[in-house]
Amino acid sequence: MKTLWINHRSFQSGGKPIPVINPANEEIIDEVPDATRDDVFRAVAAAKTAFPTWWKEVAAHQKAELLHEIAHRFKVKTREIAKVMTLEGGKPFNENVDEIGWVVNCFDYYAELQRNARGRVIPSVESSQLAMVLKEPYGVVGCIIPWNYPILLLAWKVAPALAAGNTVVIKPAEQTPLSTLMLSSIFDCLPSGVVNIVTGRGETAGDALVRHPDVAMVAFTGSLETGKTIAKICAEMVKKCHLELGGKDPFVIAEDSDIEVVVRAVAWAAFLNAGQVCTSSERIYVHQSIAQEFVVKLADFTKGLVVGPGMNPDTDIGPMIGAENRRKVEAHVADAIKRGAKAIFGGKRPGHLKKGYFYEPTILTGVERSMRVMRDETFGPVCPIMTYKDFDEAIALANDTIYGLGAVLYTNDSKKIKKFFENVQAGTIWINDPLTDNDAGPFGGYKATGGHRELGEEGLEAFRQTKHVHWDFEQENKPWWYPYGNGNKPSGAIARKSKTKG
Ligand code: NAI
Ligand code: MG
């Protein structure tokens, strides 16, 4: 059984073992501990002890050097980590190699960004004063990570958290702890206790981390349901909570689109990582004049996609993460078909793969807005298609969701583009290039997606709190103090003099 990583040491836990399963063949690869409350307390204590040193004694240029060193170590170990990510998470190996590339970029980006500024000087009220806005870390940050992009979503939290001067305790998802534990040999360039890793179940280890009074901030990516549970606890304790809770992203195709291009764009946006991406295109709206040609060509293209184990270099679509997740996808498809939709491709498990949580890429037509597949996050390789008549209708349909993470539009019509990005309620708008991230571009969503942002300057700001320092260089009686009987009055701004002496 693998061990926890606390204060730079492998830590044996008293918690029960959790099996880690290869979703491509359903075999157990290893076991990790379900960290107990005491284990989590030890990890938080380590992070709390390390905090003053990391925040106050490691200068910005030294932080930059260390964060760049982390990026470099990720680069060197890319293939080694990507292989374990594929074994435990199922995602095709080349996609995991790509994921680590983005992780490298993220650490490099925040290594530099934190050197620029940590606040600003503002005009003071009187001339004998200095007024500053300081940006300070929270302290210990609990990072709770999902399994679909286990290292990238970790980087989006840990890199800015460290850059801001916080220390962290990471809890990976039950399904993908092995690649995360490998990172001990990357993070050990930092002072001990700055990064700690506890594995375990959400309801035990995750819950203990959220509730710990010394955890000043919780950063979470995952389901809406778990996000609400965490947000309630944080609200009760009045602690900072940072959420990214998935989506139901629309993909709108205008009538001027290049059909050959848009067919491949939709297939990738809907089936990437077996549809287990928070920004998966989960609702396709195509203009009725090109719908028939589009659907035929999409089905034809999808036929050629290879479903199989992620270590196979030809694989386009790997297995889903688990049996329960596949059951949810099957329930969504069954609900759609029962209510009149048609699976023009897929709609079942692939016959040639007897083991593993595989599901065929599935194209549904004849769907309606009330079906589960158009309302709840499906998180599987399912592409439901609806048609629309005019562009205003397309925008209304795009907004027909509780979520607001991303939205895609294909067109070269600048009037439509402007209307789309001004009226669609989503944190990212992609025009003619779906799902591309940018380290400098904030990522997160409107509405039930959570409202918070990772990446970009906003992503660093999220891990900093604000302090206003009001500093008067002279100790002197102020004319607006007591007693008012002397003619003093608390008349605020008007009474304040501009000091020219000294
Ligand atoms: P989840 O949200 O339950 O799990 C994500 C993380 O939260 C894991 O590390 C888990 O251990 C932890 N967690 C769970 N319950 C917790 C609790 N009470 N306190 C603290 N931490 C807790 O997601 P799950 O169950 O793996 O997937 C269910 C559905 O959620 C998926 O089918 C998908 O729709 C959605 N999801 C969305 C993701 C996204 O990227 N937005 C990522 C993962 C899941
Ligand atoms: Mg769950």
Q: Is the CB of 174 under 6 A from ligand 1?
A: yes
pLDDT at residue 268 in the model:
98
- Which of 245, 260, 282 is a domain's end point? 245
Q: Is the CB of 230 under 6 A from ligand 1?
A: yes
Collapsing DSSP states into helix, strand and coil, what is residue 10? strand
Collapsing DSSP states into helix, strand and coil, what is residue 31? strand
Q: Is the CB of 246 under 6 A from ligand 1?
A: yes
Residue 42 lies in a domain: yes
Determine the Cα angle at 406 with ends 404 and 407, to 5°: 105
pLDDT at residue 502 in the model:
37
Q: Is the CB of 215 under 6 A from ligand 1?
A: no
pLDDT at residue 480 in the model:
87
403: left (phi over 0), alpha (psi -120 to 50) or beta: beta
pLDDT at residue 491 in the model:
58
- CA pair distance 378, 284, nearest whole angstrom: 13
Residue range 364-397, pLDDT digits in tens: 999 999 999 999 999 999 999 999 999 999 999 9
**Beta pairing partners, 122:** 131
Q: Which ligand is nearest to the CA of 207?
A: 1
Residues 138 and 171 in one domain: yes
- CA pair distance 488, 468, nearest whole angstrom: 27
Closest residue by Cα to atom 15, ligand 1, is 202
DSSP assignment of 339-405 equals TT-EEEE--S--TT--SSS----EEEES--TTSHHHHS---SSEEEEEEESSHHHHHHHHT-SSEES
Q: Which atom of ligand 1 is nearest to the CA of 376?
A: 34
- CA pair distance 165, 89, nearest whole angstrom: 31
The token pair that represents 326 in the structure block = 């596949």
Q: Which ligand is nearest to the CA of 448?
A: 1
Predicted TM-score (pTM) above 0.85: yes
Looking at residue 48, which CATH number applies to its domain? Answer: 3.40.605.10
Give the up-direction half-sphere exposure of residue 31: CA atoms within 13 A in the CB hemisphere. Answer: 11
254 alpha carbon – ligand 1 mean position (Å): 34
- Which of 245, 278, 298 is a domain's end point? 245
Give the amino acid at 171. K
Looking at residue 303, which CATH number applies to its domain? Answer: 3.40.309.10
pLDDT at residue 492 in the model:
57
Residue 446 lies in a domain: no
- Looking at every residue in the chain, the average pLDDT score rounds to 96
Residues 61 and 191 in one domain: yes
Residue 453 lies in a domain: no
Q: Is the CB of 89 under 6 A from ligand 1?
A: no
147 alpha carbon – ligand 1 mean position (Å): 8
Q: Which atom of ligand 1 is nearest to the CA of 277?
A: 40
Residues 50 and 197 in one domain: yes
Residues 395 and 353 in one domain: yes
Q: Is the CB of 278 under 6 A from ligand 1?
A: yes
* Residues identified as active-site: 244, 278
Residues 421 and 322 in one domain: yes
Residue 110's domain comprises 4-15+28-245
Mean pLDDT by 10 residues, the chain (502 residues): 96 93 98 97 98 98 98 98 98 98 98 97 96 98 98 98 98 98 98 98 98 98 98 98 97 98 98 98 98 98 98 98 98 98 98 97 98 98 98 98 98 98 98 97 97 98 98 94 78 52 39
Q: Is the CB of 210 under 6 A from ligand 1?
A: yes
Residues 289 and 437 in one domain: yes
pLDDT at residue 188 in the model:
98
Residues 255 and 355 in one domain: yes
Residues 222 and 370 in one domain: no
Residues 256 and 234 in one domain: no
Q: Is the CB of 276 under 6 A from ligand 1?
A: no
436 alpha carbon – ligand 2 mean position (Å): 27
Q: Which ligand is nearest to the CA of 230?
A: 1
Q: How many domains does the chain have?
A: 3
Pick from 171, 226, 241 the residue to mutate for probing ligand 1's pocket: most ligand atoms within 8 Å of its CB: 226
Residues 347 and 405 in one domain: yes
Using N-to-C axis directions, what is the helix angle for 60-76 and 93-116, rounded to 10°? Answer: 170
pLDDT at residue 498 in the model:
47
222 alpha carbon – ligand 1 mean position (Å): 4
- Which of 419, 441, 463 is a domain's end point? 441
Residues 208 and 264 in one domain: no
